[in-house]
Structures are given as structure tokens and as C-alpha cells.
Structure 1
Amino acid sequence: MRLVLLGPPGAGKGTQAQRLVNRHGIVQLSTGDMLRAAVAAETPVGLKAKAVMEAGGLVSDEIVIGIIADRLAQPDAKNGFILDGFPRTVAQAEELDRMLTEKGIKLDAVIELVVDQGKLVDRIVNRAAEHRAKGEPVRKDDDPEVFKSRLEAYNRDTAVVAPYYKARGQLKQIDGMMEIDSVTAAIDGVLRQAA
């Protein structure tokens, strides 16, 4: 099973990705985690990324795609993967398609969690309060102002990826405002149809 999971910050991608990992034994691929691992492992692409990051620059699409290509070649990704938070731009989506085609890999599904962005801020505030009540640390990006900035960046840069996949007939949309278990069930339904 090979999936791309799309949606704005706070839509529940991380929660649903973790459920898919646990149920299907596939890996969740986070570009941030992969970048850090590639830098730590001092792979050729990791060394390029390190140089860019140390200079204060943004890592290019070429470097990110290289890191994803390296990661997909690892044994634990052979059974499948979830790309969560990637691709972030149409250029990255096009490059991902090219790379997967070269590797003979086909995406089974591109799933977008569609949410009411006005209600997302409330969801984030509640999530932060729940973590505090449990004595757990609150994620820095769960601060409402930080979250609003992330949401603006998503709408400006990343929201265009869903129409790209829709135009290709690959996009399946799920109401991300449903209860968590209902979203999980809807994703399972999409995956059954794709099988």
C-alpha cells in the first residue's frame, strides 16, 4: 500500500497515518524526519541538505526528492508507505510521479482530509488543552498564532497539490471533520476500493 495523505495542518493526517502504520505494517515517511536522518547518516543527499540548512537556506525540491528516493529504497518501505506532508508543491508532485514511475512504483491512493479551516483553530486550541491537562508537553505548532501562520502557508503553497491529483483522477476526499474513528473507516473504504 502506497499512499499520499494531504490536508492542512491540524486536519488529522498524523493521527490517521499512525493508525495506518499500526494496522498495515507500512512506514510513515515524514520529510523532516528523513532530512534529519539523511544529514545524520551523512548520505550524499544528506550532506547537500546539511550545507543548505547550515547556510540558512530552504532545502530544494531536488534534495527533498533525492532523500525520498533514498528512503523508498530501504527495505522497510518495500511493503508500502505513507507520504504525510509531501508533496508540498505541484513541482514536488510532478517530481514524485517521475521518480515513482522510474522505480516502477504506483500510488494506491491520494487521500485528502477536507476540513473546515475556521474550526481547525478551535481543534488545535482543544488539542493543546488536552495535552496540558494530561501533563504532556504542548507542540510548539499548537500555539494558535503559530498554527494560523502554518495554515496561511498551506493555503498559499500547498493547497494546489490536491487539484493536481484530482485532475489526474487520483484524489479521494474524506471529511476530516468527522470523529477520528469515522475518518479511519472512510480511509479504509477508499483503500478497499483501491485494492
Structure 2
Amino acid sequence: MVERENLAGALAEALAVPRIHLGDLVRTHISQRTEPGIRAADMSSSGMLLSDGLLAEIVGDRMSRTAPTGFLLDGYPCNPAQALALDDVLRELGTPLDGALTLRLSESERVRYLRHRTALHLCAADPTHRFHPETDTVPDDGICIICGGALYQRDDEEHVRRLVGEHEARLELVAQYYAQQHLLLELDASGTSAEVTSRGVGALRERRR
């Protein structure tokens, strides 16, 4: 099993295209205090999820500024409304999708993934700073050794399982949307990072022929 973030980076590198990560885009707008970034910061500080319209605006801004001829979009879209908004952006740019990759895990791999995630210690200031008891030294004082933020753990496994299930249900609707357009590529996400990356690269290259 491989983390989605690591797989996306490896796939983009292998295909020689930029990886466009939704989280990175949002953080850049927030740090630069752009108008969408200010709205995103206000919504986040209020405990609200970022709206589909705001995310579409942020992704559309990135795509229109650089208009890459090839790209790997990571973390977006997460629901059918976002998929429709992305279609509108790409249609205006004349850059249609080659394919939409969805990762599939067996039930045993999903359970292992959930237990791995609930054991992680995350930084409240930057959730990309993470520490796992099996591979990292977790600070005893609960302070991130990278940036000084407070560390926390996700809720218990059953709660995380419910949240993941809800997220997967939304993503399944996105998968159905792209399947209807004959763009969906299903990838077995079990195995080593190299194995999953190789399968993903093969599937995407085959689709681009």
C-alpha cells in the first residue's frame, strides 16, 4: 500500500508532467493573502469546509495562469459538482482530460491503512508534518520538531472509518461520473510504491496513446 500523495508525485515525475495538488494551491493562496486565500482562511478558521465554488476558483486560477499541456491533478475533484466545474475550466482552455485514476484497496488493506492513519501524530500548524510511532521519534512534549506547532492524533479507528467511508462514497460518485465519460481508470493500490507507480504509469500511458 502506498500513500496517495507519494503516488501522485511519482506518477507525475514518471510522466514528466507537473503535479497540481489542491492542498498546495489553497495554502499558497492563504500565505499570499489573495482574495480567494483570505476567504479560504476565514472559512477554515470558522471550522467550515471550503465551498465547491471557492475550490473551483482556486483550481481555475492555477490552470488558466499556466495552461499546462499535460498535468496530474491531485486531490480534486472530490464530488460531482467539482468535476463539472473542472470540465468547464478545461473546456475553456481546450485541455481535455486523458483519464481519471481511482485507487482500489482490498478490505484488509483498507483496515491496515485506517490503523496507520489513526496512529499518526499530525501537526496542527501544518498537517504535512506527521510522525508515526513505527518509523519516527514522536516528541514527548507534543510539539512538532519541524515548525513548533502542536501535535495531535486523529479520533479513534471507528470514527475515522466512518469519515473515510463518507469520503469514499463521495468519490464513488466522481468515479461514476468519469466512467460514464469512458475516462475512468481503476488501479489496484496494493503492493509497494514502485509496483503501484508502475501500474499507474502503464495505465495512463496506454490511455494517452
TM value normalised by structure 2: 0.74
Q: Following TM superposition, by how much is the alpha carbon of 1:125 offset from its aligned partner in structure 2, in angstroms?
A: 3.2
Give the distance between the partners of 1:93 and 1:68, measured in 2 at CA.
Answer: 11
CA distance in 1, matches of 2:64, 2:175: 26
Change (3 A) 1:168 1:28: same
Gaps of 5+ in 1: 1-9
1:175 aligns with 2:166: no
SS across alignment from 1:18: helix
What residue is the counterpart of 1:89 in the other structure? 79
- Larger relative contact order (CA 8 Å, sep ≥ 6): 1
Query: Which of 29, 50, 69 is 2:60 aligned to?
Result: 69
SS at match of 1:194: helix
Which of residues 43, 56, 61 is equivalent to 2:34?
43
- AA aligned to 2:104 is V
**Inter-partner Cα distance in structure 1 for 2:46 and 2:155:** 28
CA shift at 1:107, angstroms?
Answer: 1.2
**2: distance between equivalents of 1:19 and 1:92?**
25
* 1:60-107 Cα deviation digits (max 9, x unpaired): 1110000001122344x6253222221111111011111110111111
CA RMSD of superposed structures (Å) = 2.9
- Counterpart of 1:5 in structure 2 is none
| 1:142/1:78 CA distance change after superposition, 3 Å | farther
Q: Taking structure 1 as reference, are residues 117 and 91 closer, same or farther at Cα in structure 2, changes over 3 Å only? A: farther
Taking a change above 3 Å as real, the CA distance of residues 104 and 136 of structure 1, as seen in their structure-2 partners, is farther
> Letter of the aligned partner of 1:24 in structure 2?
L
Correspondence for 1:148: 161
The amino acid across from 2:167 in the alignment is: Y
Q: How much identity, in percent, do the aligned residues show?
A: 28
Paired with 1:74 and 1:141, the residues of 2 have a C-alpha distance of: 36
State the partner residue of 1:164.
Answer: 177
Q: 1:136 to 1:159 in 2, by over 3 A?
A: farther
How far the C-alpha of 1:113 sits from its partner, in A, is 1.1
In terms of Rg, which structure is larger?
2
Deviation at 1:193, TM superposition (A): 1.4
Partner in structure 1 of residue 135 of structure 2: 134
Change (3 A) 1:159 1:185: same
Partner of 1:28: 19
Could you tell me which amino acid in structure 2 is paired with residue 32 of structure 1? G
TM-score by length of 1: 0.78
